[in-house]
Structure 1
């Protein structure tokens, strides 16, 4: 428990917030239904609906876009003074010795770190590849469930439904998508810049309290 406390905390917090969203969402949806002369739906009907699914998917895709961009862009771009960045001059993918791959592996290194060719390439980029895959899948889930939810509203107003491509090109889709993207990118920007000048004692996301502002990395 102690060795996995951080991941367990966020897993429990995630599940509680997801359940909380479902109950708050069904209450809000039923209030809207009743106000418009419709009938209330059960919790199960709501959590299996396109309305709930699109709200969840659009948040997930923006989160994974944030992590994908941060993981990949920090390979090449730096921010002087930020603990979220490599030191200026250390941009790039690093040498085999720095990355402990090939003949530079150490006891306990993952097996594929010592492999050659495609296996090493895949493992050496596996974090970004997985984050990118989850982003794409959640974006697709958002677009499909969003199309279903949008068409449900269209039909309730006696208007024609749209195709998947028509919805993806619609203002409704991009309004929902860009609302999430801008908030996630602002959060990353805030973390990168504020961590130059502000501290949180004991946090690995912060420099030690007495570290000079201009020091970019405290790792040996």
Structure 2
């Protein structure tokens, strides 16, 4: 067990704080929701009811989709785009998909390479893009979940205000939907840009997200 925890500590740590953050969001969210219900003359709900509500679902999904969008874009654009001096970037001379030899695919696959790296054809092509594709798929699924949950929450507010509900198409083209999406997207894009630039000049000893402390500011694609 100790070996498993040590080998998977990074993933387990973030999964743990994810659960804690979701629990905190649920508890604080139900209080905020019930305060609004009292203000508008509505009935208060239990924590269990709130956890299955569209309001909680849309708040979670709109954050998840922005995170997956960030990673999806970052994985794909860093194939071609570089930032000189950043460990988050490839060396400018290596921009592009790189050679089969460097990527260890097809005839250049090693004995311990994943099976699909040496399979050739569509399997190697798919496996070669699998990380970006799964992030893109997770973004689309969480975006869809946000749109469905958001539609339900939006229409509940519409009915409470004695206004007509809208269709799914009407909601995903509404200002409410795009305001929710863009306020999350812009924060993710800012964070990535800040990380790429700050890592040129600043260091974190021992972190693979940082260059070695004594490495030149101009060194690119070198991680500690």
Give the TM-score normalised by structure 2. Answer: 0.96
RMSD over aligned Cα atoms:
1.1
Q: 1:161 Cα shift?
A: 0.2
Q: Which residue of 2 aligns with 1:27?
A: 31
**1:39 and 1:146 mapped to 2: Cα distance?**
21
**Aligned partners of 2:214, 2:41: CA distance in 1, in Å?**
62
Which residue of the other structure, out of 45, 63, 68, is the alignment partner of 1:41?
Answer: 45
**Residue 207 in 1 paired to residue 201 in 2?**
no
CA distance in 2: counterparts of 1:4 and 1:108, whole angstroms: 21
Cα distance in structure 2, aligned partners of 1:64 and 1:211: 31
1:108 Cα shift?
Answer: 1.1
Q: Distance in 1 between matches of 2:44 and 2:152?
A: 19
| Structure 1 residue 36 displacement after superposition | 1.8
Please give the residue correspondences for 1:148-163 in structure 2 after superposition, counting only pairs within 5 Å.
Answer: 148-163=152-167
Task: For residue 160 of structure 1, report the CA deviation from its aligned partner.
Answer: 0.2
How far 1:112 sits from its partner (Å)?
0.3
**Deviation of 1:217 (Å):** 2.3
Work out which of the residue numbers 65, 71, 78 in structure 2 matches 1:67.
Answer: 71
SS of alignment partner, residue 89 of structure 1? helix
Q: How does 1:1-220 map to 2 (within 5 A)?
A: 1-218=5-222
The runs of 4+ residues in structure 1 deviating greater than 6 Å are none
Of 178-187 and 30-39, deviating more is 30-39
For residues 183 and 39 of structure 2, the distance between their equivalents in structure 1, rounded to whole angstroms, comes to 27
Deviation at 1:134, TM superposition (A): 0.3
Q: CA deviation at 1:218?
A: 2.3
> What are structure 1's unaligned runs of at least 5 residues?
none
Deviations 1:119-175 (A, max 9, x none): 111100000000000000100111111111000000000000000000011000000
C-alpha separation in 2, matches of 1:149 and 1:32 = 14
CA distance in 1, matches of 2:212, 2:18: 29
Secondary structure of the equivalent of 1:107?
Answer: coil
Q: Distance in 2 between the 1:49 and 1:23 partners? A: 13
Q: CA deviation at 1:19?
A: 1.1
